[in-house]
Structure 1
């Protein structure tokens, strides 16, 4: 009876170990093609090879012989040493992915370069446009300064003309006033001589 229990426990442990390794992805070593056997050991018949780097599915493990049962890409269920399996993807499967990553990075770098060149060109256009606007504003400012100078000259000339006219008007009024005063004085001096004196009344004689 104890022996039967021991056998059952052993079978249970074996089933547990088999299930623990069921359906796990593994990769054949990159160094060389691996020979596969019909059973869990090199004493079993060699039934073929699997290519180096090929992806296989680990179905079970024989801890006694350190062999694993795998299913390859052709659907065959065979055995081979566990030391010829790896959890890390092989170079054979990684190279296309790496090439794709390199291509994507190269495309991104090219796009970044194109984008940078485009931004640089836009900045140069903006700077050139700004320089043009600045030059135009400077030219317009200079024109306004010239117009202001000319306007000031015109105002000064007009003020000079007004001053001359004011002086002319003052002189005219001064001469007119002098003429009137002189005429009045002359008239006052001549008028008594022009008007005959009245004869004295006879009775006064």
Structure 2
């Protein structure tokens, strides 16, 4: 190996930063696939590739070469350009989640719509029942009014009949009283003539 290459590799090795304070989740950018290398630079050999959207763990970074050391789902440790890592999940991962969220929201809206329709139907039934009760009360009130009017007419008719009977009775009493008085007067006039008088002897004539 040439001395210049050896010096370059040595400087590259020293330029690798210390491991991060905590392992961080990253996602492969939205490309069909990306190659990973055995070391933090383009001069290292390609050792495989990762699919877009695949989740990896960022172990450390190399600021000089802008490479990051990652661990994939199979536990393999490789290096990849930092530009090909994303903090947010890829669209390939997020689209199913978004679709599920849309489905959940659609189901909720459907349930809300159905619940609202049911509540509206219940309210309409209650209003209809209230209208029925109100109409029934109105009819009953009208019937009571009619009965009251009929009762008042009957009372008035009874009062008229009572007045007529009272007048008839009074007239009858007057007639009875007048008849009795007339009979008494007639008897007073007739009885003296009907009873024969006794002849009295006049002592003075004898």
TM over 0.5: yes
| CA apart distance, 1:168 | 1.4
CA contact (8 A) 2:15 2:64 kept: no
- Distance apart, 1:75 and its partner CA: 2.2
* 1:36 Cα deviation from its structure 2 partner: 0.6
Offset, 1:63: 2.1
Aligned twin of 1:67 = 67
- Please give the TM-score of this superposition, normalised by the length of structure 2: 0.85
TM-score, with structure 1 as normaliser:
0.86
CA–CA separation in structure 2 for the residues paired with 1:128 and 1:57: 65
- Residue 192 of structure 2 corresponds to residue 192 of structure 1: yes
| Aligned match of 1:78 | 78
Deviations 1:138-184 (A, max 9, x none): 22122212211221222222222212211111111101100111111
Output the aligned Cα RMSD. Answer: 2.0
Count of residues paired in the alignment: 192
Distance 1:14 1:23, change over 3 A: farther
The question of whether the paired residues in 1 share the 8 Å contact of 2:34 and 2:49 is answered with yes
Structure-2 separation of matches of 1:125 and 1:14: 79
Larger helix share, 1 or 2: 1
CA distance in 1, matches of 2:131, 2:82: 74
Aligned to 1:56: 56
Q: For residue 125 of structure 1, report the CA deviation from its aligned partner.
A: 0.8
Q: How does 1:1-205 map to 2 (within 5 A)?
A: 17-20=17-20, 22-205=22-205
CA distance in 1, matches of 2:202, 2:121: 128
Q: Distance in 2 between matches of 1:151 and 1:59?
A: 102
